[in-house]
Structure 1
Amino acid sequence: MSDNKPKKHGYVEIAGHYRKLIADGTLAPGDEMPSMSKVCKQFHVSITTANRAFRLLKSEGLTVPKPGVGTVVAEQPHVAATASARLNRIARTGQLYAPKERSVDHTAQLRSIADPILADHLGVELHDEIILRTRTFVRDGKKTVFAVSCIHMRALADVPELLSPEPFDRFWQEIYTARTGRAITKAPERRSARLANEHELKALGIDVEAGTPVPVLVLVNTFSDEDGPIEVWEDVYAPGLWQVDTE
């Protein structure tokens, strides 16, 4: 005999559900959170479990109480999503940007790759020609991430638009897959820290005296199709930001 009882959820799982909705903008800053009774009904839990989930979200700074309203989504001016989180958001919602986010200073050009680490990830020799695309993410008026895309030259035959600095209206890898039938997969995200170079400081709007060391977090993501690596992302984060990878 099959068990048709509705699945019960723990408070951590419930908090994770709303954390994702907040991260991808389904619940934007200032939006009212659902009532406790609605949460209890949706997840088949007690008021105690629902309350614990909401307390967890509050402790993480994701929600705040608002007199006369209840619980609302908090402003998050010092949060920047990881690349993995951005991809998860795009897959779930189709939205290229988080709430109050945009990208500026787009560039696209053919360049010789000068970074041995990125060359190794892309599977090319140092100083080989690649497609280099850059942009800076801005959230709530603050520059958060300087993003660099190193793309293998073989992608250009199928997506010549890669040399246009204009941003795509969807993830370019989706266009590549649609035109070639080749699926692209992502390797686990790599994280490290180093000192920002002058170009990165300028892109992020960090004004310091020449030679001043500015530590930054760097995230690297490698994408491959059946022929090997096709794109490497290097995201350089402005100092003082929290990284969120649960979008």
Structure 2
Amino acid sequence: MAYVTDGSGYADVAAHFRKLIQDGELAPGDVLPSVQQVREQFGVSAKTVSRALKVLKDEGLAASRGSLGTVVTDRPRVGPLTGAARLDRLNSTGNHYAPAETSTDHVAMLRGCADPDIADQLDLELHDEIVIRRRIFRRNGRPTVVALSCINVRALTDVPEILQDGQLKPFWQKTYTERTGLKVTRSPERRGARLASDDELTALEVDVPPNAAVPVLVLHTTFHDELGPLEVWEDVYAPGLWQVDSK
């Protein structure tokens, strides 16, 4: 595990360890370096280290464990990585999952787009056909996110595999770029909230009375190439989870 001595402030030190935790290089139960070790590695004061550790504890990423020091928590109420951050981790580490994380129920389908917002992001008319890829992310077996990939049908010409059920390896956008030579970029994530649908509550294994109003955190990330919008990711987080900035 590499550490850089650069005279960072407490926010930079916290960001460094936050990334190690989110990338899975530090797993739940792992002990963070001591205050003295962090001081030497980053060239900062003990006060700076203490402030950085407090940030991680306030975010639910770490906790004090007596003589052990500061350890990474299992973060039961902290949501998993956003789609964009997950992609960054995959590109930098080759790892699809954080510790104790899996995904299930990978399905693909061709459907008319019934969501006006997604149709607008893909520059399509409402009810135009799109490819939808759906999966459920889980931590310790419990569902945390219903993740949808809404893909412009033009991608089928070059990557027909996107209509196959099951996880695609390598990531389909990488295959698309290799076959077309077109670079894929992404827009900033948009975060909002809405009421969960019955299907989403079922997928997230949330047991509530019929027609109950259950608010959920929703993230959208839109991807483009030079031909226009290519894909929209929609991540729907289980009720009660909150998100930590991945930067």
TM-score, length basis structure 2: 0.91
Within-5 A mapping of 1:116-131: 116-131=116-131
Gaps of 5+ in 1: 1-5
State the alpha-carbon separation in 2 of the partners of residues 188 and 200 from structure 1: 24
TM-score, scaled to structure 1: 0.91
Per-residue deviation, residues 78-121 of structure 1 (Å, max 9, x unmatched)? 22222222122223322111211111111101111111111111
Report the Cα distance in structure 2 between the residues aligned to 1:51 and 1:217, rounded to whole angstroms: 31
Contact 1:85 1:246 in 2 (8 A): yes
* Residue 25 of structure 1: aligned partner: 24
**Secondary structure in 1 matching 2:27:** coil
Q: Could you report, residue by residue, the CA deviation over 1:10-64 in whole angstroms, capped at 9, with x for unpaired residues?
A: 1221111111111121101011111223212221223332233223323333222
Name 1:3's counterpart in structure 2.
none
Q: Secondary structure of the residue that 1:242 maps to in structure 2?
A: coil
CA distance in 2, matches of 1:135, 1:231: 15
d(CA) in 2 for partners of 1:131 and 1:14?
41
Q: How far is 1:192 from its partner?
A: 2.1
Shift of 1:69: 2.6
Paired position in structure 2 for 1:51: 50
How many residue pairs were aligned?
242
Change (3 A) 1:52 1:193: closer
| Superposed displacement of residue 156, structure 1 | 1.0
**Structure 1 range deviating more: 51-60 or 190-199:** 51-60
Residue equivalent to 1:166: 166
Deviation sequence 1:202-244 (CA, Å, 0-9, x none): 1111222221221222211111000000101111111100112
Q: Does residue 7 in structure 1 map to residue 6 in structure 2?
A: yes
Residues in 2 aligned to 1:162 and 1:26: alpha-carbon distance in whole angstroms: 30
The Cα shift of 1:171 comes to 2.2
* Aligned ranges 1:192-211 → 2 under 5 Å: 192-211=192-211
Residue 60 of structure 2 contacts residue 78 of structure 2 at CA under 8 Å; is this kept in 1?
no
Shift of 1:132: 1.0
Q: Which residues of structure 2 form unaligned runs of 5+?
A: none
Cα pair distance change 1:167/1:93, threshold 3 Å:
same
Cα gap change, 1:96/1:125 in structure 2, threshold over 3 Å: closer, same or farther? Answer: same
Q: Contact conserved, 2:103 with 2:136, CA < 8 A, in 1?
A: yes
Residue type of the alignment partner of 1:226: E
Identity level (%): 55
* 2:102/2:141 contact within 8 Å kept: no
Offset, 1:164:
0.8
Q: Distance between the aligned counterparts of 1:73 and 1:85, measured in 2?
A: 19
Assess if the C-alpha contact under 8 Å between 2:134 and 2:149 holds in 1: yes
Alignment map for 1:22-101 (pairs within 5 Å): 22-80=21-79, 81-101=81-101
Is the contact between residue 103 and residue 138 of structure 1 (CA under 8 Å) also seen in structure 2? yes
After the TM superposition, which segments of 4 or more aligned residues of structure 1 sit over 6 Å from their partners? none
Q: Who is 2:229 aligned against?
A: 229
- 1:188 deviates by 1.5
Alignment of 1:152 with 2:152, yes or no, is yes
Aligned residues of 2:221 and 2:234 also touching (Cα < 8 A): yes
Alignment-derived partner of residue 114 in structure 2 = 114
Instruction: Determine whether 1:133 maps to 2:137.
Output: no
Once residues 164 and 19 of structure 2 are traced to their aligned partners in structure 1, the CA distance between those partners, rounded to angstroms, is: 33
| Kept in 1: contact 2:61–2:73 (CA 8 A) | yes
Q: For 1:97, what is the secondary structure of its paired residue?
A: coil
Letter in 1 for 2:101: E
84-93 vs 95-104, which moves further: 84-93
Take 1:76 and 1:115, find their aligned partners in 2: how far apart are those partners?
Answer: 32
Tell me, in whole angstroms, the C-alpha distance in 1 between the residues paired with 2:190 and 2:47.
Answer: 38
Contact in 1 for aligned 2:84/2:189 (Cα 8 Å)? yes
